[in-house]
Amino acid sequence: MAPTQITPMQLDSKDAAEALLREVLHHKAQIHFGIPESHRLIHEHDVVVLESWTVRDLLLLARRGVFQVALLSEDLIDEELFPFFDWQLKDLGDLLSLKEKVLEVNPQMKTDMSAAVGVQADTAPGASGATGSVVSGANPSTAPGPANPSSKKGALFIDRDGVVNIDHGFVGDPQQVELIPHISEMIAHAHRQKKEVVVVTNQSGVGRGYYSEVDFNRVMNRIFELLSFDGVKIDRVEYSPFHPQATLEKFRLNRHLRKPRPGMIHRATSARSIDLSKSMLVGDRYTDLIAGVLAGVGNNFLLASDQVLRDRQKFEDWTSLMKSKHQLSELMDGISFHVLSGLDEFKIHSK
């Protein structure tokens, strides 16, 4: 179901297993062998290794937060499961060796990782007050969320290219920025409903070397500037520069942040104390919607594009497969889905 470019990394050699171990140790994270108890926190760079599992197990893990999942299987895993996990461990010997190495290097495997990662964007010229919090998948931060859990409110999660601005294909130049009609009205409507507006965007152009993270920030600053002319702003930006075929190794990691995995949504939810059941998501690709469903976003919208029929069908095929083959009817419990022919229709469905 899912496109081949999101295929998880296969750990079919000792070197690959050691690469995973290096990543975990670099981030002072943990490797959990088996599903951690529900009360235990799993941090962003932790890895949950499962020797046996059900799709229901994977769904519940996807709803718990931001972390990586590795499945132990010597056989090819069904393609429709790709949104649920990041790594495939193929060799039992390498897995046992990996576990021994983990205990040998650090028996406790304690972690002080925060679920939030962030860098503040510069303010674009003439865009006073328009700056959002631009969050990179590569730079750790300890920004806390609201202290009072009872203050949780909904959010509007939006894709960037194709929803906020016209998707010209790998937009890395501020001069390419053209806002989608009615985007400012949609943001203003969300703010009137006391919802934070959070961009969640795959930016594999960074990982592929088409443009830099500096270029990405320049594009975002131009977007902030244009939105400020209409008196609206984006509250937070989560972006994933990662891709399995990235030119730099650091951008081949953290696949859990790349949609359709729900990592970016969970990261913002943790940092800002967001209630996902009260939240909405607008995307222009079926992978956006799958990320919303996996995270547990209450209302999901597909913005019509030149591929809307294909994306709607792919999303509906995926949800039908989850319900029929894997008996996960509750996957969509409390979750709605609509198609928008334009952003001006958003208010009709978001009262």
In this structure, are 81 and 176 located in the same domain?
Answer: no
In this structure, are 25 and 170 located in the same domain?
Answer: no
> Is residue 87 situated within a structural domain?
yes
> Is residue 13 situated within a structural domain?
yes
In this structure, are 214 and 297 located in the same domain?
Answer: yes
Q: How far is 202 from 265, CA to CA, in rounded Å?
A: 12
> Is residue 228 situated within a structural domain?
yes
In this structure, are 25 and 127 located in the same domain?
Answer: no
pLDDT score for 289: 97
pLDDT score for 33: 84
> Is residue 322 situated within a structural domain?
yes
> Is residue 110 situated within a structural domain?
no
**What CATH number should be reported for the domain holding residue 175?**
3.40.50.1000
Q: How far is 339 from 45, CA to CA, in rounded Å?
A: 34
pLDDT score for 16: 61
- Please say which residue of 80, 105, 130 terminates a domain: 105
Q: How far is 351 from 339, CA to CA, in rounded Å?
A: 16
Residue 127 · residue 228 · CB < 8 Å: yes
pLDDT score for 98: 66
In the DSSP assignment, the letter for residue 251 is: G
List Cβ neighbours of 297 (8 Å cut-off, separation of 6 or more): 157, 265, 276, 279, 280, 281, 335
pLDDT score for 111: 34
What six digits make up the tokens of 320?
A: 């039908």
For residue 180, what are the domain limits?
A: 119-349
pLDDT score for 349: 85
> Is residue 92 situated within a structural domain?
yes
- Domain total for the chain? 2
In this structure, are 28 and 153 located in the same domain?
Answer: no
> Is residue 292 situated within a structural domain?
yes
In this structure, are 135 and 160 located in the same domain?
Answer: yes
To the query of whether residue 159 is one of the catalytic residues in this protein, the response is yes
- Mean pLDDT of each 10-residue bin along the chain, 351 residues long: 44 62 79 86 87 90 89 82 84 65 55 26 30 36 41 93 96 97 98 97 95 96 97 97 85 85 95 95 97 95 93 94 88 90 91 67
- Please say which residue of 105, 133, 154 terminates a domain: 105
Q: How far is 244 from 30, CA to CA, in rounded Å?
A: 22
In this structure, are 173 and 307 located in the same domain?
Answer: yes
In this structure, are 158 and 58 located in the same domain?
Answer: no
In this structure, are 53 and 136 located in the same domain?
Answer: no
Q: How far is 47 from 21, CA to CA, in rounded Å?
A: 9
pLDDT score for 137: 39
Of 86, 91, 94, 159, the catalytic one is 159
Whether the model pTM is above 0.85: no
Of 46, 161, 235, 311, the catalytic one is 161
pLDDT score for 120: 27
In this structure, are 26 and 172 located in the same domain?
Answer: no
Of 167, 133, 139, give the one whose Cα is nearest residue 268: 133
In this structure, are 164 and 48 located in the same domain?
Answer: no
> Is residue 68 situated within a structural domain?
yes
In this structure, are 330 and 255 located in the same domain?
Answer: yes
- Please say which residue of 105, 128, 144 terminates a domain: 105
pLDDT score for 133: 37
